[in-house]
Amino acid sequence: MDITPEEAARTLAQVHETQRRVLRAAPPMFPAWYPVAVWTFVTGIQFVTEIPPTWWLLIAVPALAAGLVLAVLKFVRDVKNAKLRPHSSVVDPWAWVGFTGWMVVTSLASVPLVLWFVELGTAYPRTLMGVIMTAIVAITSPLLARWMSGRTARRAERAKR
Mean pLDDT of the chain: 87
Which of left, alpha, beta for 124 (phi over 0: left; psi -120 to 50: alpha)? left
CA–CA distance, 60 with 63 (Å, rounded to integer) = 5
Q: Residue 47: which pLDDT band, with cuts at 50, 70 and 90?
A: very high
pLDDT at 90 over 80: no
pTM: 0.78
Report pLDDT for 85.
67
Query: d(Cα 29, Cα 141) in Å, to the nearest integer?
Result: 11
Query: How many domains would you assign to the chain?
Result: 1
CA-closest candidate to residue 129, choices 115, 146, 144, 141: 115
Supply the range of the domain harboring residue 86. Answer: 5-159
